[in-house]
Amino acid sequence: MGFFHANPAKTLLRSRAHSLPDFQLLPTAPLLDAPMARTFFLFTLDEIRNRYHFDLRGYVVMPEHVHLLLSEPPEQTISDALKVLKQRISRDFRGGIPESNKHLLPPDLRTLAINLPRFWEPRFYDFNVYTREKLTEKLKYMHANPVNRGLVDHPAAWKWSSYLFYKTGEQGMISIDYPW
């Protein structure tokens, strides 16, 4: 089952390649099951994006893994940026979150995180994207993930995704850096 993205030809690539890192939680750590946790993850991703200055082209946050389509940061590597993102999420989920943001995470989620020695898989799968066609293919694959898993009937219904941006131009929970 595929879903057409409006205006895929507008998805232009800059001179640098884009990367599709996928990373997973350990099977014993279902920390992104909670909608608030997925939302918190996206807000943290946005902070890290602003700090490392990479372009975010697409995202899907699933209950047990994450798909990102992003550019290489100008001064660091994708590995550096993802390491900081994972560390920040780990710290905040374990209670290091600033007092002003504690309402964003349910207490039972913080309790679960504190009791886990770690919850991210140590590595991530990375796929480099060099063409418009491959970029469109990867976006379609990412956005179909919640439907293929039976979480929703249509990608537009999964709010932890950049799908609506590519379908309607509407920004989601965090903005997409459109490459024109």
Q: How far apart are CA 59 and CA 52, in angstroms?
A: 17
pTM assigned to the model: 0.78
43: amino acid identity, one letter:
F
Per-residue pLDDT of the chain (180 residues; tens, 9 = 90+): 333 333 333 333 333 445 555 555 555 556 788 888 888 889 999 999 999 999 999 999 998 888 888 888 888 888 888 888 888 887 777 666 656 565 666 666 655 555 656 666 666 666 778 788 888 898 999 999 999 999 999 999 999 999 999 999 988 899 998 764
Q: How far apart are CA 162 and CA 155, in angstroms?
A: 9
Statement: 8-168 belongs to CATH 1.20.1730.10: no
Q: Where are the domains positioned within the chain? A: 8-168
